[in-house]
Amino acid sequence: MQNLAKTHKTLTVVNDQHGRPTWKRTLVEFMTYLTDNQKEYGYYHLSNDAAEDTTCYDFAVEILKDSDVEVIPVDSSKFLAKAKRPLNSTMSLAKAKATGFVIPS
């Protein structure tokens, strides 16, 4: 988003796709926790816990809030994409929580 903002005065971003952003720090802390506590290795879904219901548009607005770029919400049907994206890509955090790791909000 920030790179696009350098060359565009307006950006159109989908407002009907939901997910949860993951902070890099949270990911590193979780991986360290798994290693230090000898937890089971495998696949885990991890994101910050209170980030539910964040749309791509909301995320872009937050990222670009200090810029002069106008962020315009659009329906995902306005974009021609090679891969169809789910409207809700929020995944369960149950397995990550079951390790005892406290997931930040």
Backbone angles phi, psi at 59, to 5 degrees: -65, -45
58: confidence class by pLDDT, cuts 50, 70, 90: very high
Q: Which residue has the tokens 């802390």?
A: 29
Domains of the chain: 2-95 (3.90.25.10)
The more confident residue out of 35 and 4 is 35
52: confidence class by pLDDT, cuts 50, 70, 90: low
> What is the pLDDT at residue 85?
82
Report whether 42 contacts 99 (CB < 8 A): no
State how far the Cα of 1 lies from the Cα of 88, in Å rounded to an integer: 20
> What is the pLDDT at residue 51?
64
Which candidate, 73, 71, 83, places its Cα nearest to that of 2?
Answer: 71
Q: Read off the pLDDT of each residue in 77-83 and give the average, rounded to a whole number.
A: 81
The more confident residue out of 79 and 66 is 66
